[in-house]
Structure 1
């Protein structure tokens, strides 16, 4: 196993982390026996960073992970868990959530604790709730060790958050299609310049970069003469970055776990050749031709007077038309853009005021494109799906 060092605490973390958001299921529930076997097998192969969150699998992810870490496995790993902003409105609720998480995980402390899915709106909410007082009190009490955040906003907000606190680590979405999306390459470099460890999520863009490739993309890989799966190409591209600490993979198939472990062994920083990077660039170009709106996520168009999260709307609209899993994309759009409070940020809130038009460096006709987003992602299917997504994301169990 390859290990990389967290600058601020010296921890040696496996370059491959186990993401517990997509554990194997059976008849709609986690297949516990299989999931536990997979987690323990990964640990025995050297994986020592395991990532979960309160809402994953309706709360079951933490519980199953806790069972998997019995029998001496807990002492071999670092657990990452998250405080979800949409679940809390007070210090007392933060404390209650943390207590539940510790009970589910069957542990007395969480090694890496993140503020979950931050963007400009959720960041402001947590700051207003004085979340740092809660975090530092928990750290002083020994129930959490390292403080970080995961991010799904624009680069301007990312820099603001990075500069606001002495973070140990952060978690960003990053892959060869998302160099200019959300935090992007610029955010990766900025975090690293502050000695903040960077954990990467969605390295395969929810599986889009690993299967059902456009024919032209597969042809580019085939012409390379290298016997690699698309997943291996995508993961090697990320591990080539020296500023990346750990890459999280939502592994739920034994074959994929073995493949990722094998890839990780020699996918060292700077190990890709110029010819290999050129292959990835060619594949990236194929995907880029399929993108509907060429938004870079710079957020110069923000804030919208009517509350639309313009970069996020375009991000999910592009995903909707590039991936075969439209149902999952719609679910993320509901959770991250529409939300579950009184401040939705979806495309249909646009009133074509035109304020954003002069601000976009890409020259995108934003109101026109938002109408297309609204047509595809704010319709009846989304309205019918929203209560289900809300139920899954906000489920609270009696412990």
Structure 2
């Protein structure tokens, strides 16, 4: 697991090569504000080789945030990260490793018979029940999440994963009610809290695609306020204190997908306040008050990691960024400026960018030598 001393030593080794806000607080120390994602690429040996080189170069170049998931490239991305960490001159405890559970993973490649694989690997052993599944591929059952976490630890070859996400829980809304999904999320958070106390997880959070960006009326919407309340309830039930390890969000954010900043779709927690007359009567906030997801995350002291920071590479093209925004961004290339847009958003800790190409990685990392926009400049591009 990453440690305060090792993270600060890493920052001291690489910090002078980057802009002043490149390293930002997270967990026990500070981390790079550009991280490497490992979602893209076919599950082949050739892509493994490219990713292996990219991960090694990243952590030797000032990028100490590696993000993956149990289902990324059928588990191969986790294995590659584990191989690199074991063989690198960079110490394991100087690197933040995050992974996710929720989607049913294959092992190395897609099976010939998906139904037989699901039955033999998950249903017959009791890891999953048929009713747990959404779309035949997603589950939040604690037995499945525990299995997924254990397999991730094995593939990564680590004793502790620094951050573990429930992966796209809004997927479950296709087959169950919103209240039932919140209950399932709470059960998942309880499992992760127990594993945190056991030392297997440093912290945990939610990784979403739509849930926190869409309007409240959308079928995929989830309330961050409700999830935070469920995390607090877990903390009150488990352990020697009422603390909990819910510390991170991961969601898409880029110049074309800025909903987490622009859409006020989250109701802030209602705070009871004692009236000035000293009576026991309590007043609460108005029902029409709303915050954006990034605002609420900031108030709740959550770290935000952006996915799709380059929109799958689309923002690396010339003229992909609106000119009025592009003029405000520092960077030599469109990719660097797009990454710095994500890094400029209030409350963002780290912009994740996926690549297995060494040249693209070097270009992305060099974006960190430029300072992001200040808060006023960032706000101004939305006026």
CA–CA distance in structure 2, aligned partners of residues 115 and 271 of structure 1? 30
Correspondence 1:189 to 2:295:
yes
Q: Which residue of the partner structure matches residue 172 of structure 1?
A: 251
Look up the match of 1:250.
Answer: 354
Aligned CA-pair RMSD:
3.3
CA distance in 2, matches of 1:169, 1:108: 20
State the 1:180 CA deviation: 2.5
The answer as to whether partners of 1:240 and 1:269 remain within 8 angstroms in 2 is yes
Kindly indicate whether residue 172 of structure 2 is the aligned counterpart of residue 68 of structure 1: no
2:48 aligned residue: 32
Q: Deviations over 1:52-75 (max 9, x none)?
A: 001111111111111111135423
1:392 matched residue in structure 2? none
**TM-score, length basis structure 1:** 0.60
Structure 2 counterparts to residues 71-86 of structure 1, below 5 A: 71-72=87-88, 73=90, 74-84=92-102, 86=137
Alignment-derived partner of residue 183 in structure 2:
127
State the partner residue of 1:113.
164
Q: 1:143 & 1:229 partners in 2: Cα distance?
A: 40
Q: Which has the higher contact order (CA 8 A, sep 6+)?
A: 2
Runs of 4+ in 1 over 4 A off after TM superposition: 181-185, 217-227, 271-274
Decide which of 30, 33, 46 is 1:15's aligned counterpart: 33
* 5+ residue gaps, structure 1: 283-399
Match of 1:149, SS state, is: strand
Match of 1:53? 69
Question: In the alignment, does 2:115 pair up with 1:99?
Answer: no
How far apart, CA to CA, are the structure 1 residues paired with 2:84 and 2:50? 10
Residues matched between the structures, number: 273
Contact 1:30–1:60, Cα closer than 8 Å, also in 2: no
TM (normalized to structure 2)? 0.62
Report if aligned partners of 2:68, 2:78 keep a CA contact under 8 Å in 1.
yes
Q: Which residue in the other structure is 2:317 paired with?
A: 211
Pick from 328, 332, 336 the counterpart of residue 228 of structure 1.
Answer: 332
| Paired residue secondary structure (2:191) | helix
* 1:179 CA drift (Å): 2.0
- 2:298 and 2:205 mapped to 1: Cα distance? 13
Would you say 1:3 and 2:23 are equivalent positions?
yes
Unaligned runs of 5+ in 2: 1-17, 104-136, 217-221, 233-245, 265-291
- Contact residue 139 and residue 145 of structure 1 kept, 8 A: yes
